[in-house]
Structure 1
Amino acid sequence: MRSVSGSESECIFPAIFNLGDSNSDTGGLSAAFGQAPPPNGITYFHSPNGRFSDGRLIIDFIAESSGLAYLRAYLDSVASNFTHGANFATAGSTVRPQNTAISQSGYSPISLDVQFVQFSDFKTRSKLVRQQGGVFKELLPKEEYFSQALYTFDIGQNDLTAGYKLNFTTEQVKAYIPDVLGQFSNVIKGVYGEGGRSFWIHNTGPLGCLPYMLDRYPMKPTQMDEFGCAKPFNEVAQYFNRKLKEVVEQLKRIARSCNHLC
């Protein structure tokens, strides 16, 4: 496992594979449950384009800076070219599987473990299709791309909000974060086992500044900071990010140990 920091030559990737939630979903949930309606997409694409945003997402800019086409969603099979990667993210996804239907909670049933299964199957079937030849061969990544690709992850925010929707306190939400990150770590190890070596792992954002959190869970004036954000929610997001950094450092040590032994 290595980071993507360093010289420019170290950051050239032939493909990108992304797993995550709405922060990086380029069409997964729309393909499964119906297109994200307007005003999504109005700023850049000028019409709905699978993103739960009025314009582009960070993953779009990462692909653009790498000279690659925007990632198509794995679940969107219509006119999709996966030569330079695929996007397994779906809006509403969590690291931990949710025991509710999307109509009940709003969370995607395509949790991180499901996305990993989809990726693993995609990798296996891509190799098979390219060996068999035919028209679809040119729409799938070359076998060597899977070890040379950048693997990006942007997920965890919905695991935090899920607790608040169950009326958990901030301390109760913080208490299950180690389990969330344990399951996240297992998926990273799984991707590493599939040959992935370069990882881009996002922090979660300032939960207490999200309009829907402020609207759904009103705070007392003393619980708000100078920017109008809810301090308890941001506190849990910061805690998540500190623990995530610890997990990433641990994974790096494991990877270095494996490389040394191998």
Structure 2
Amino acid sequence: MVKQNQSTITFLLLPLLFILFISTKIEGANKLFVFGDSYVDTGNALNSGSYKPPSGITYPGTPAGRFSDGRVLTDYIASFLKIDIPISYSLKNSSNLQNGINFAYGGTGFFKTLVDGPNVSVQINSFEQLIQQNVYSKSDLETSLVLLNSGANDYTTFALKNTSLQAIQQFTESLVKEVVVNLRHIQSLGAQKIALTLLQPFGCLPIISSTSGFQNCIDTLNLVATNHNNLILQNVDDLNKEIGKPVFKTLDLYNTFLSTIQTMQKSRAENSTLMNPLEPCCAKDSAGVNCGKVDDKGQKNYTLCEKPELSFFWDNVHPSQNGWSSIYTQLQSSLGQLI
């Protein structure tokens, strides 16, 4: 009799449990759509160094399209959402679209950059075409998270063409206007949860901090990123007020980079055997040589640190897996507000 009652109760509870499961799924983010550059690209730049050794040496153990020794920001955000990483647009087919798509392409920006790849506007247009083809529904967009990381390559391109910093403020204003145009475009497609990263501190990148012997970040260039980010925050706030709800959120790469670097520097001051966070793991002692570059005979023209898992930067501009892991840990509270 007791067994029969238990069976009856279990039978009656099954529909309720199913409803709760579905409700929980809807409240979270079912898919992840990614736009931007190498900080979030997981496989679109097919002819780049991301598919050549020593990329991927930590994860997955072989080059796999990430500009790092292992996981990048996209990987960690997907894990936070409890989904597999979305397939890269270049590798998509009809059967691997269930987790979303990653359109990000290493080296690109909002404007035309030094890399011949699809900028953010083109990436969003590709997304819109899939929506028009009914690959993704309105419900997909409403319940999914959009991640956008770009802008650093635009500043690099600008700096190589302009010897004076006097024009930088005007460029920042024009770039932020373009960011807003793209944010509006994504939202117009039906997306309700859009995360925009703030720019990293440029002056801490090894390619810049090398001028101080990797001892200090260069504050002048950090100020460029700070001014950009402040303008972004103002415009995101205005957009949310215009829409009437917080569709757009920002992820603070600037302060998470600084915080992690400062923490690692403090630890190193107490233990000199630890790695300097401003030094790249790959190609530190190879001036003018990129990580992964080989000569005509296939011999390495770069050096590699002994323990990539202790580094913050993988190469001259990209964090290592350890770096991204540290950044993600600090971003988790912000991610919780997104879903």
**Aligned 8 A contact 2:105 2:117 in 1:** no
> Any idea what the Cα deviations from partners look like across 1:233-261, whole Å, max 9, x if unmatched?
1110111111111111111112118x9xx
> Any idea what the Cα deviations from partners look like across 1:82-106, whole Å, max 9, x if unmatched?
11200110001111124xxxxxx3x
Structure 1 residue 22 and structure 2 residue 38: aligned? yes
Q: How does 1:117-136 map to 2 (within 5 A)?
A: 117-125=125-133, 127=134
d(CA) in 1 for partners of 2:121 and 2:101? 16
2:242 alignment counterpart: 254
> Any idea what the Cα deviations from partners look like across 1:122-179, whole Å, max 9, x if unmatched?
2222x1xxxxxxxxxxxx5555212211111111111111121124333322321111
Task: State the structure with bigger RCO (CA 8 A, min sep 6), 1 or 2.
Answer: 1
**Aligned 8 A contact 1:40 1:55 in 2:** yes
**Aligned 8 A contact 1:97 1:111 in 2:** yes
d(CA) in 1 for partners of 2:118 and 2:80? 28
**What is the deviation of 1:212?**
2.2
Match for residue 178 of structure 1 among 160, 167, 173? 173
1:200 alignment counterpart: 195
2:139 alignment counterpart: 144
**What is the deviation of 1:39?**
1.1
1:73 alignment counterpart: 88
d(CA) in 2 for partners of 1:163 and 1:213? 16
2:77 alignment counterpart: 62
> How many residue pairs end up in the alignment?
223
Identity of matched residues, %: 25
**What is the deviation of 1:78?**
6.4
d(CA) in 1 for partners of 2:228 and 2:60? 33
Structure 1: tracts of 5 or more residues without a match:
1-7, 99-104, 128-139
| Paired residue type of 1:18 | V
d(CA) in 2 for partners of 1:41 and 1:180? 32
d(CA) in 1 for partners of 2:83 and 2:143? 14
Structure 1 residue 36 and structure 2 residue 51: aligned? yes
2:264 alignment counterpart: none
**Aligned 8 A contact 2:50 2:67 in 1:** no
**Aligned 8 A contact 2:54 2:63 in 1:** yes
- CA distance 1:46–1:80, shift in 2 (3 Å): farther
3-state secondary structure, aligned to 2:227: helix
Match for residue 111 of structure 1 among 94, 116, 119? 119
Structure 2: tracts of 5 or more residues without a match:
1-23, 248-339
| Paired residue type of 1:122 | L
3-state secondary structure, aligned to 1:176: helix
**What is the deviation of 1:196?**
0.5
d(CA) in 2 for partners of 1:200 and 1:25? 16
2:228 alignment counterpart: 240
| Paired residue type of 1:146 | L
RMSD of the alignment, in Å? Answer: 2.6
> Any idea what the Cα deviations from partners look like across 1:17-56, whole Å, max 9, x if unmatched?
11110000011112x6685211111112100111111111
TM-score when normalising by structure 2: 0.60
d(CA) in 1 for partners of 2:93 and 2:57? 21
d(CA) in 1 for partners of 2:190 and 2:121? 17
**Aligned 8 A contact 2:55 2:69 in 1:** yes
Query: Quick check: which has more Rg, 1 or 2?
Result: 2
3-state secondary structure, aligned to 1:201: strand
List, as ranges, runs of 4+ consecutive aligned residues in structure 1 with deviation greater than 4 Å.
8-11, 32-35, 140-143
